[in-house]
Structure 1
Amino acid sequence: MRDEVDELLEAWGRERSDLDLAPVAVFSRVSRLARRLELARRDAFAAHGIEQWEFDVLAALRRAGAPYELSPGRLLHETLVTSGTMTNRIDRLSARGYVERYPDPDDRRGVIVRLTTDGRSAVDAAFAALLDAERTLLEDLPERDRTRLASLLRTLLAPLSTPR
């Protein structure tokens, strides 16, 4: 089975036979797959009226478990955005009724961000749609190969991950 990356590799091989093209064989495919996943995610979320950034914040709160709340600092860590960006996102999600702010009982100056019932419904529906889209992307790959691919990607990504 051939794909578009095979064609790229052949062309670069003709033009630059002096180079080791092994990284292109891997990362061009990862890049193309990432783009397809990005489009599938966008469509899955749009079908439920939320954007990628909204899903990221709501999902972080949902994964926290009941009562589905985190400090803004923890949300920063979970979503890898700046403080100003997170404040704006919390404001916008609050205006939509997806999150609420509460005083932090352990820090008089701080707040806690809590997922509302509407926010939980939105993120749950969007997550289910995302899983359906991702299953579609994986449907031609046998289960044992999915498991192997996940393991290989973990091996590649683990040294690059930031500690929690």
Structure 2
Amino acid sequence: MCDEVDGLLEAWRSERPDLDVTPLEVFSRVSRLARHLDRARRTVFTEHALEPWEFDVLSELRRSGPPYELSPGRLLRATLVTSGTMTNRVDRLAAADLVRRRPDPADKRGVLVRLTDKGAERIDAALESLLSYEETLLAPMPTDEREQLASLLRSLLAPLDRTPSGPQN
């Protein structure tokens, strides 16, 4: 079985036999897979009237458990955006009735962002569609290979996630 990366590698090996292009075997495939997944996710999110950033914020609230509310600071740390960006995002989600702000009883100056019933329904439906689609992508791969792939990717990603200079969104 061959993919687009095989052709890319063959061309580089022909043009630059002096270079070891083996890192491209992994990272070009990861990059191409990320682009395919991004397109697929955008399609799923569009079907549920969500932008990718909306999915991220609503997901963080939904995963937090009842009462499905977090401080804006916690949301911005989880989604790796600035406070100004998070304020704008919460404003837009509130205008769409997907979240609601309420005063933080533990901090008179603070607010909490709570998922509304409409927001919970939207994120749950989008997540179900996303998981269904992603399952079809993984269907040709046996369970043990999926587990092995997940473990291998974790071993690459974990050190990057731990470093402050790691990837930023």
Q: Which 4+ residue blocks in structure 1 deviate beyond 2 angstroms?
A: none
Please tell me whether residue 30 in structure 1 is matched to residue 30 in structure 2: yes
The aligned residue for residue 72 of structure 1 is 72
Q: Aligned-pair RMSD on alpha carbons?
A: 0.9
Aligned partners of 1:36, 1:100: CA distance in 2, in Å? Answer: 33
Aligned partners of 1:148, 1:88: CA distance in 2, in Å? Answer: 40
Gaps of 5+ in 1: none
Q: Which has the higher contact order (CA 8 A, sep 6+)?
A: 1
Please tell me whether residue 156 in structure 1 is matched to residue 156 in structure 2: yes
The aligned residue for residue 127 of structure 1 is 127
The aligned residue for residue 3 of structure 1 is 3
The 1:95–1:71 alpha-carbon spacing in structure 2 relative to 1, beyond 3 Å, is same
Aligned partners of 2:95, 2:38: CA distance in 1, in Å? Answer: 26
Gaps of 5+ in 2: 164-169
Aligned partners of 2:105, 2:74: CA distance in 1, in Å? Answer: 16
The aligned residue for residue 84 of structure 2 is 84
**1:54-87 Cα deviation digits (max 9, x unpaired):** 0000000000000000000000011111110000
Please tell me whether residue 102 in structure 1 is matched to residue 102 in structure 2: yes
Please tell me whether residue 20 in structure 1 is matched to residue 28 in structure 2: no
Which residue identity is paired with 1:150? Answer: A
1:110 offset after TM fit, Å? Answer: 0.6
Give the SS at the match of 2:113. Answer: strand
> TM-score w.r.t. structure 2 length?
0.94
How many residues were matched structurally? 163
Give percent identity, aligned residues only.
64
Which residue identity is paired with 1:90? Answer: V
